[in-house]
Structure 1
Amino acid sequence: MVKVKKEGIVLEKTDLPFENVAVLNPAVIKEGDSVHLFYRAVRKGEYSTIGYCRLDGPIEVAERLDFPLIDAELEIEKQGLEDPRIVKIDDLYYLSYTAYDGFNARGALATSKDLKTFKKHGLIAPPIRYTDFMAGNKTGGKMSGKYYRSQLYYYKESEPGKTLMLWDKNVVFFPRRIKGKLVFFHCIRPGIQMVSVNNLEDLTKEFWDHYFHRFQDHIFMDPVFEHESSYIGSGCPPIETEYGWLMIYHGARETNQGMVYSACAAALLDLENPARVITRLPYALFEPEYSWETKGEVNNVVFPTGTALFGDTLFIYYGAADEHIACASVSLSKLVAELINSW
């Protein structure tokens, strides 16, 4: 098994009103020796915004804003902007996040040219009602049992005057175009799906109608191992290596103590056809073990959302117990070798 070092907590909540409950699940991008974190900041009432800090090197905090960098402005995000991820494609930064209105949670996008000001593009998740998805009306017939059971488990009763939309979270872009197309993961439990489009403007209702008519064709990864037996979801943006795209994702399993969320070195994906999974690590890369990972706003959580590479050392940033931002490190070359040896 490849050795992973827990570096400890990088960022804690403060007494500032916008982050006095928790900080967690940061979007991460490295520029030079600086690491930029765009993190989920939670205030009382479970409202989330996106805070910002800059690290000097992989661990040391050099700068931190005392106000949200990105706040809720749209009706779709009135309860919060959650769990951001970020990549740079060409000269534009793509920051994806979950927009939560207190009832529906769906993938949204903002872009920036300078990491200081962001333009919101609204929802990029499919506009499909929960009832349509469950009935198979938009999926070309009855869906597989595991998807039906998983969605039924997370179903909640509609409130008067509200329409329950299909929850679709954890939108994560690849950091470059592949064969000229923008490619991103999204997550309808229990698996991970993949979308490929020429431009964001292609994500029309007609596009999604066609997509869901062949929904099974777009599922490229499902849970298969014990440590991810309940469901899996996107984690960090994929990392390009000579052997394929390294994907680190999250998995969850039900235990007698409740749900346990582990970080998993998921796979190597084909560089030019990333829907082809070359290999997957058969064990969790790391799991909750320290008190700050096992006890918090949500117990037993390590939720990876970003990485930074310094030499051969890959630093993985994650939300710990839904309350702190922590970091783990691993040799990139050894991790890739471990994956190759598992073929």
Structure 2
Amino acid sequence: MISIKREGIVLEKTELVFENEGVMNPAVVKSGDLLHLFYRAVSQGNHSTIGYCKLDGPLSVIQRDSIPILSAEFNYESHGLEDPRIVKIEGLYYMTYTAFDGVNALGCLAVSKDLIHFEKKGIIVPTITYKEFSELTSSKRNISSKYFRYNQQNGITEKEGKKILLSDKNVIFFPRKINGKFCFMHRIKPEIQIIVAVKSLKDLTPAFYKNYFLNFNDHILLTSRYDHESSYVGGGCPPIETPHGWLIIYHGVKDSIKGRIYSACAALLDLDNPQIEIARLPYPLFSPKRDWELEGEVNNVCFPTGTAIFKDTLYIYYGAADEHIACVSVSLSGLINELMLNTTKNDN
């Protein structure tokens, strides 16, 4: 069993209005020995913006902005910008985040050349209702019944004057094009799905997504397999390219008598065809154990969203109990070796 080191809390909430309720779930990008963290900052009333801080090395904060770097501008994000992730592809930074309008939570994209000025590209996931989703996927006999349980909203189709759409979160790009095409993960509960072979993001049209849902089973990437992820799984950190495959740090959720428990999990995907799962840890990489993970705005949460590599050490940054940003470290080579001892037969 691979061992991890808890490095402790990296960032806490402050008295500043935009982050006085909590900080969590950072996007992380490395530049030399510096780290740029773009984190979810929560104000009173559960309104989120994206804050920014800079680290020298993996753990030392040397700069922290007193105002958000990104905040709500459009109706689709009027109640918050949540859980950013970031990668750099061909000289351009792609930051994805979840936009919340008070009713719907949908994956969005913003791009930047300098990590200072970001251009919002809007919602990039499908904007369909559960009824439309159900109709498009109804011919797929093997689709999990959990999709009905998590997404049908008890038959309610409208709330606060807004149409209820299928929730689609955790949009995470692979950090390079694969065979010349964009590839990203997203999550419609209870599984992680993948979108591959998109030459241009302009190709993500309603017609594209209609065909996507007609062949929905082909796009399911990871589904629950072990006890610690028995309720559902969701995306975590951007994929890390290794000689053995794409290392995926994701989150798994288990319902318990104490409520839901969020753990960090690890899997390995094929480099040329990331729809092929090579290996998966049969146990959590790490789960809530420390006080700051067990109790907070939401108890029992370790929610990984960003990583940085220093030599052979992988630092994983995560939201702890929806209140703090914390970090663990692990040997990268050791983690890959452990995964290769737990290869899986791909079912696709």
Structures share fold, TM-score greater than 0.5: yes
Report the Cα distance in structure 1 between the residues aligned to 2:268 and 2:155, rounded to whole angstroms. 33
Q: Say if 1:30 and 1:195 are closer, same or farther in 2 by CA, change over 3 A.
A: same
d(CA) in 1 for partners of 2:160 and 2:299? 32
TM-score (ref. length: structure 2): 0.95
**Counterpart for residue 213 of structure 1:** 214
Distance 2:154 2:263 in 1: 20
SS in 2 for 1:138: helix
Q: Take 1:206 and 1:244, find their aligned partners in 2: how far apart are those partners?
A: 32
- 2:239 paired residue number: 238
1:256 equivalent in alignment to 2:257: yes
The answer as to 2:139 corresponding to 1:141 is yes
In structure 2, the residue corresponding to 1:307 is in which secondary structure? strand
Q: Does 1:15 align with 2:43?
A: no
**CA-CA distance at 1:146 after TM superposition:** 2.8
Secondary structure at the aligned position of 1:137 is classed as: helix
Instruction: Please say if residues 237 and 306 of structure 1, whose CA atoms lie closer than 8 Å, have aligned partners that are also in contact.
Output: yes
SS, match of residue 330 in structure 1: strand
Distance of 1:144 and 1:2 partners within structure 2: 31
| 1:151 Cα offset (Å) | 2.4
Q: What is the one-letter code of the residue matched to 1:242?
A: P
Match of 1:61 in 2: 61
What residue ranges of structure 2 are gaps of 5+ in the alignment? 344-348
Extract unaligned runs of 5+ from structure 1. none
Q: How many residues align?
A: 340
Aligned partner of 2:229 in structure 1 is: 228
Residue identity opposite 1:92 in structure 2: L
Asked if 1:287 is matched to 2:287, the reply is yes
Does structure 2 retain, via aligned residues, the 8 Å contact 1:140–1:212?
no
Which amino acid in structure 2 is aligned with residue 324 of structure 1? H
Q: Which moved more, 1:143-152 or 1:70-79?
A: 143-152
Given that residues 130 and 152 in structure 2 are in contact (C-alpha distance below 8 angstroms), is that contact kept between their aligned partners in structure 1? Answer: no
Write the distance in 2 (CA, Å) between the matches of 1:178 and 1:129: 31
Report deviation, 1:131: 2.2
Percent identity among equivalent residues? 58
In structure 1, the partner of 2:346 is: none
Distance 1:312 1:160, change over 3 A: closer
Distance 1:282 1:311 in 2: 26
The answer to whether the Cα contact below 8 Å between 1:140 and 1:214 also exists between their aligned partners in 2 is: no
Distance 2:20 2:155 in 1: 30
C-alpha distance 233-156 of structure 1, shift in aligned 2 (>3 A): farther
Give the TM-score, by structure 1 length.
0.97
Alignment partner, residue 301 of structure 2:
301
| RMSD over equivalenced CA pairs, Å | 1.3
Indicate how the Cα distance of structure 1 residues 156 and 54 shifts in structure 2: closer, same or farther if over 3 A, else same. farther
Deviations 1:1-44 (A, max 9, x none): 10100000000000001000000000001010001100000000
Distance 1:161 1:42 in 2: 25
Whole-Å separation in 2 of the counterparts to 1:111 and 1:139: 32
Does the C-alpha gap of structure 1 residues 268 and 125 become closer, same or farther in structure 2, counting only changes over 3 Å?
same
**One-letter identity of the residue aligned with 1:63:** Q
Q: Supply the distance in 2 between the matched residues of 1:55 and 1:264 (Cα, whole angstroms).
A: 25
Please show how residues 59-208 of structure 1 align to structure 2 within 5 Å: 59-133=59-133, 136-141=134-139, 143-152=143-152, 158-159=158-159, 161-196=161-196, 197-208=198-209
CA distance in 1, matches of 2:160, 2:58: 48
Deviations 1:253-289 (A, max 9, x none): 0000100000011x11000000000011100000000
Q: Is the 8 A contact 2:234 2:250 kept in 1?
A: yes
Q: State the 1:158 CA deviation.
A: 2.6
